[in-house]
Amino acid sequence: MTSDDRPPRLPAAPTIAAAGATALMVAMGIGRFAFTPILPMMQQDAGLSVAQGGWLASANYVGYLLGALTAVALGVPVTSAIRAGLAVIGVATLAMGFTHSLAAWILLRAAAGVGSAWVLVFVSAWALGRFAAAGRPRLSGAVFSGVGGGITVAGALCVALMHRSAGSARAWQGLGLLALGATAAIWPILRAEEGAAPAAPADASAARGWDRDALRLVLCYGMFGFGYIIPATFVPAMARQIVADPLVFGSSWPAFGMAAAVSTLVAAAGSRWLGNRRLWACSQLMMALGVAAPVAWPTIGGIMIAALLVGGTFMVNTMVGMQEARAVAGPRATGLMAAMTAAFAAGQVAGPLVAALTVGPRGDFSGSLALASVLLVASGVALLRPPTSAR
């Protein structure tokens, strides 16, 4: 075989980990969660109400649901789907800073949600598969830590802009440029993988035979989506009701992100002893405590506990949930991952709407937080029950 006949050299596992982490930083830290730290800014300079904030958040989650449902129908190499998702997120986020129309904001946040789901589903399938083949499963913690890193960067940027009395438009523009720059940085790595990466399955049912255990994973992942999304959407807004200083209430979101970034690195090692499902159950129960903290302790201290406990568990749940899907379905896991992500997205759509409908006259989220905590406890207990079918 001549040098011209040799197949192209694929990126090494650590390079894939760095590219995957960067992709999830853009997809989740910006495409999904940029709205959370910008919400208090939009309330101040655009007059956005809590109810309107709930609709904007849910638009993103509806887009995320559509992205999860369409992911298995793309039929293209997974890295092509990742690149398409990243491009959509960057453009939609940047455009948020150049319009003042609520209708346009809804459409743009929905588009970013679609792209975010594509990136999460296909980065999970691509990276976890490559790590398994290379015997480097612990690198998954580095990939999923990118979400927390993106949340931290987005939150820190918003705190800095609020300190300078800059508006929400400037925040959207800055994060959009950051998303496009990060996408450009990993574009060559994703292109190099395109020929080797498998195509997305054309039909989810062909990728996974359904049984009671698979259904339990999907339902528990959906309850996780509902349970975490209310604090993940409204933590800075809740903190702003208690403390007016942006350096104080704004710090709740970077704290959320830093907890998320560290948690996956720790959990990647801990899963060797507990196993994916037990770790997921324990993490779900700890999240329930965090969600309930502002109800039991309605102060800035309770909100910071929520930020740390929810931030420190939501990406653990995501990582081990995707790993468990791969353990159950093996190389055909993309369909199960997409179904779990769709259930997660459905829970996210419901969460902010419930919060918007039940919020008190002074912006009290206690009712929706209590419901979310109960659902998280129920799903954690369900995960502790042994599987009902052989793997």
pLDDT at res. 360: 61
77: three-class secondary structure by DSSP: strand
- The DSSP code for 332 is G
Q: Is residue 4 part of a domain?
A: no
pLDDT at res. 361: 57
Question: Global pTM?
Answer: 0.80
DSSP 99-148: ---HHHHHHHHHHHHHHHHHHHHHHHHHHHHHHHHHT-GGGHHHHHHHHH
CA atoms within 13 A on the CB side of 112: 35
Q: Is residue 1 part of a domain?
A: no
Q: Is residue 391 part of a domain?
A: no
Can you give the CATH number for the domain in which 305 is found? 1.20.1250.20
Taken as a whole, the chain contains a residue count of 391
Comparing CA positions, the residue from 252, 237, 284 lying closest to residue 380 is: 284
Q: Determine the Cα–Cα distance for residues 188 and 9; give it in Å rounded to an integer.
A: 13
Q: Is residue 8 part of a domain?
A: no
pLDDT at res. 1: 45
pLDDT at res. 333: 74
Tokens of 158: 């918003």
Q: Is residue 212 part of a domain?
A: yes
pLDDT at res. 206: 41
Q: Determine the Cα–Cα distance for residues 243 and 136; give it in Å rounded to an integer.
A: 45
CA atoms within 13 A on the CB side of 334: 33
Q: Show the DSSP H helices in the chain as ranges.
A: 13-24, 35-45, 50-71, 78-96, 102-134, 140-163, 168-193, 204-207, 212-242, 246-249, 252-274, 276-296, 300-329, 333-358, 366-384
pLDDT at res. 208: 45
pLDDT at res. 108: 97
Which structural domain range is residue 114 located in?
13-384
Q: Is residue 220 part of a domain?
A: yes
Domain count, the chain: 1
Q: Is residue 19 part of a domain?
A: yes
pLDDT tens, per residue, the chain with 391 residues: 444 444 456 668 888 999 999 999 999 999 988 898 898 889 888 888 877 887 888 889 889 889 988 877 777 788 899 999 999 999 999 999 999 999 999 999 999 999 999 999 899 888 888 887 777 877 888 898 898 888 888 888 888 888 888 889 999 999 999 999 999 999 999 988 775 555 444 444 444 456 788 889 999 999 999 988 877 777 766 767 776 666 665 677 788 788 888 888 888 777 677 788 899 999 999 999 998 988 888 788 888 888 889 888 988 998 888 888 888 776 667 778 888 888 988 888 888 778 777 766 566 677 888 888 999 999 999 998 877 654 4
Q: Is residue 389 part of a domain?
A: no
Residue 150 CB neighbours (<10 A): 31
